[in-house]
Structure 1
Amino acid sequence: ATKVISVIESVLMLSVLAAIWVRDLQALTVFFGIIGAGVAIALQDVLKNFAGSLTIILTRVYGVGDRIEIDGRYGDVMDIGIMNTILMEIREWVAGDQPTGRLIIIPNGQVITKSVQNFSRDHSFLWDEIQIPVTYESDWRRAIEILTGIAQQETGEISKVAEIEIERIGEKYFLPKKDIQPAVYVTITDNWILLSVRFVTYVRERRVVRARLNRLILEAFEQEDGITIASETMDVQIAERKALK
């Protein structure tokens, strides 16, 4: 706003001086043309941000309360002004999509030139995964049973909500049928069997749900003698060599 006022004041002052000192109409026209081009250049960021605010309002790219990512910055939308959008930042040095406490001011013009990811515009859930490596000596079939049971028990309510929201989204967009129920996928690696638990979680409860699942998985595996979580460690055995007589 300060920049706009400053430019307007300068233009008015120059216009008055030109009207007083320049008598040639053609020269005056050229002068105002140059002034107009200068104003357009000086206010290009302002005009771009104003156009961005119109884009946000008309296309509903995001609204107050949405969780978005734009130009590599993540946060919850706190306010949308004529020129800027204010986010409560998440991620950065804080893990698990939780707030850092820092406010980010993003020029609205970025919605025109940058891609925007909206995590909560039409639904309240995300898919997430937890990966657990187990040794080849482990009873991986039993491990899958445990992981599936825990995920179903802890995310069953969220899955029901997600199914309803997916049906609603399908009425608005083309959306192939998605399997909402938790699933465990098996990957064979050189060092271990990787079990990936896929489940749905609320957008703003991702870290809480992951922490609860991790704790329950560890507690369940502790009760199983046939399941061992693998790690990047190496067992070194040193054999004593008997001295030759």
Structure 2
Amino acid sequence: MHELFEFLKSPLVIRILILIIWLVVILVVIVLLKRVLKSRIEDSSLRYKAQKGVEIIGYGLIIIMLLISFTLNDIGDYSIVIGLFTAGLAFTLQELILSITGSFYIFFVRVYKPGDRIEINGIKGDVIDINSIYTTIMEIGEWVSTDNYSGRIVKISNAFVFKGPIKNYSLDFPFVWDELNIFITFQSDLDVAKKLVIETAQNQLANYAKASKARWSAMVERYYIENAAIEPSIAIKVTDNWVALNLRYITDYKKRRATQNELFEEIEYKIRATKGKVVLASASLQLLKIPEVDVNLKNRMP
């Protein structure tokens, strides 16, 4: 017992105990401040940013205290023990440490932020929360078509930002290119069809084209990327069954499905208004009549 008390009185043990107490105090203050901010701030965006700011400051203070405790003071004969312990702890908690490091990387490098639509580790969805360990995503796709929510909430370790590509739909350019195929018969007036489709797209997507031009110009100046056509365009392909008009256009990354539906409805309405000049094609099957065969069987007696 005497040796135990002597050990507890040593400067190293006292320093470690003080460090632990301070760490607990900082963590408690972080939790309390987040609760106060949650109850006092009504604006959800401001409340979220304030809570994340408290977390970042708190974890920053913890890192600073650890550096001061173990680098600015002489730890005597226990340096080897603490070094081995720290190395073992780092190896055991490497995923956790990498996740925390990833959270700082996400915030400061702005890889993505809440509200962005991303695809990471094969999972696509909208970011709804980022904490010190996980990124929470409202999943889209999977068993539902196009860009609809599946209803599942997915938590992804922040460590994945160092392990693979991150596809961000809205980081610097919140627009995507999409395509719509219109199939018409060979007897249709191709010039009328082309004019009809391109004018409809230009009228429907004028706001997207105008808003995206400035953003794309900024992209060209910032990155090594060629200038791309923003206005809607058509490519024609002839198949065995029909003529395919491939319409390429730009739209908001969150309104791809709605835009495609509105375009097709308007184009289909205008095609019907041509009164037969342009006709939508569909797969057809031609049935041929089998020639009649007259079979005359005679009975033969043995």
TM-score, normalised relative to structure 1? 0.81
User: C-alpha displacement at 1:180, in angstroms?
Assistant: 0.9
Consecutive unaligned residues of structure 2, counting only runs of 5 or more, are: 1-19, 21-75, 296-302
User: C-alpha displacement at 1:69, in angstroms?
Assistant: 0.5
Query: Which residue matches 1:235?
Result: 286
Residue aligned with 1:39, SS: helix
Q: 184, 198, 205: which is aligned to 1:148?
A: 198
Query: Which residue matches 1:44?
Result: 94
Residue aligned with 1:109, SS: helix
Residue aligned with 1:204, SS: coil
Residue aligned with 1:151, SS: helix
Counterparts of 1:87-126 in structure 2 under 5 Å?
87-126=137-176
Deviations, residues 26-50 of structure 1 (Å, cap 9, x unaligned)? 9x88766654443223201101111
Q: 119, 122, 126: which is aligned to 1:72?
A: 122
Q: Give 1:222's aligned amino acid.
A: R
The answer on 1:133 being equivalent to 2:167 is: no
Query: Which residue matches 1:166?
Result: 216
Residue aligned with 1:216, SS: helix
User: C-alpha displacement at 1:155, in angstroms?
Assistant: 0.2
TM-score, normalised relative to structure 2? 0.66
Query: Cα RMSD over matched residues?
Result: 2.6
CA distance in 2, matches of 1:140, 1:33: 77
Query: Which residue matches 2:271?
Result: 221
Consecutive unaligned residues of structure 1, counting only runs of 5 or more, are: 6-24
Q: Give 2:111's aligned amino acid.
A: V
Name segments (4+ residues, structure 1) moved above 3 Å.
Answer: 28-38, 239-244
- Cα 1:39–1:148 change in 2 (3 A) is same
Q: Give 2:281's aligned amino acid.
A: A
Instruction: Answer with 184-193 or 201-210: which moved more.
Output: 184-193
Residue aligned with 2:129, SS: strand
**Structure with a larger share of its residues in helix:** 2
- Report which of the two structures shows the higher radius of gyration computed on alpha carbons: 2
Residue aligned with 1:210, SS: helix
Deviations, residues 72-118 of structure 1 (Å, cap 9, x unaligned)? 11111111111111111112222231222321111000010011000
Residue aligned with 1:94, SS: coil
CA distance in 1, matches of 2:202, 2:79: 74
**Structure with a larger share of its residues in strand:** 1
- Cα 1:241–1:193 change in 2 (3 A) is same
User: C-alpha displacement at 1:171, in angstroms?
Assistant: 2.9
Report sequence identity in percent: 32
Q: Give 1:75's aligned amino acid.
A: G
The answer on 1:61 being equivalent to 2:111 is: yes
Query: Which residue matches 1:14?
Result: none
Residue aligned with 2:206, SS: helix
Q: 168, 176, 184: which is aligned to 2:234?
A: 184
- Cα 1:189–1:59 change in 2 (3 A) is same
